[in-house]
Amino acid sequence: MQNTMQQNTPQATSPRPGEMPPDGTQMAKAANGNMSAETPRQDAQNRDAQRQNAQAQSRARDAVRPPVDVFESEQGITLRADLPGVPRDKLTVRVEGDTLTIEGEAVLDLPGQMEAVYAELRSPYYQRSFTLSSELDTSRIEAGLKDGVLTLTVPKHEAAKPRKIEIQAG
Amino acid sequence: MRGSLTSFPGSLFSEFERLSRELDQRFEPWAGPANIRAVARGSFPALNVGLCPDSVDVYLFAPGLDPKSVDVSLEKQVLTVSGRREAGLPEAARAYLQERFDGEFRRTLTLNEDVDPERVEARYQDGVLHIRAHRREATKPRQIAVQ
């Protein structure tokens, strides 16, 4: 099993939903087995990538799925997500292929020496993904964030908008 | 052995992990009697409370509020936050998912006895309502020197 793992290409992107991310220990063993072929710089890059990957994995595990409203009109799809505590610079909206992913990190004003007494929200990470259909024009997505509410509008391709087809007589 | 079992997507172990996480979420970690004013799990807005030596900090996760329409009141250590959250759904559209809360809400909690009702501040930022209630000086923990 371990021999089939890629040894020299550290995985820098976070895993797609549903995909099992590579096991960190397997990657470490593979890297050690090939020590002579890697420079110290590549080694450090591998370790960084492993750490980022491990961080991304643990964030994905702890992340909260934000509640979402999705509605469709003739123009396209509108999505609203509740992301309390997330400022604009901690929000990521990305499209990879046909998958739309929303990620955010909440930033709270926490005075020092605070002891948590009661917590209903236990993670500052939000994450949710959606699969978009092909008639949606992902290059024209618009996003707005106000008071923790993210509004995304995804228009349809011009050609995909509903058109009435005239029925010719005779 | 571990390698072969965990290399499949949606493997048996990840399902168990997901199930145990869901069970943990269902059974409150604070076992025992619930607060008489407690609300159902997942109520809007979610609430976190932290304690500092000189203040009690309450965080309400309530995005999309108009701060002027929220009522925050403190009466004999009982803090009540109530208001209305409009989800803003358009009339002429087909809805697929409607998970966001829409309507009136009220959260109540009892603060420590040493809270000073004259020194309570509330701030709304990025959808989080942060209420800070300062505690009275006298009850700050003091170190007692052992002779």
User: Which one of A83-97, A151-165, B33-47 scores highest in mean pLDDT?
Assistant: A83-97
Q: Cβ distance A151 to A77 under 8 Å?
A: no
Q: How far apart are CA B43 and CA B106, in angstroms?
A: 10
Structure confidence at residue B21 (pLDDT)? 65
Sheet with A99-105: list strands edge to edge: A91-96, A99-105, A125-131
Altogether, the residues listed in chain A come to a count of 170
CA distance B94 to chain A (A): 5
> A150: buried, middle or exposed (CB in 10 Å: 19+, 13-18, 0-12)?
buried
ipTM over 0.90: no
A31 SS3 class = helix
Please report residues of B whose CB lies closer than 8 A to that of A64.
none
Whether this model's pTM surpasses 0.90:
no
Contact state of A20 with B63 under an 8 Å Cβ cutoff? no
B12 touches chain A (CB under 8 A): no
CB pairs under 8 A between A and B: 138
Compute the average pLDDT of residues A126-146. Answer: 92
CB atoms within 10 A of CB B58: 24
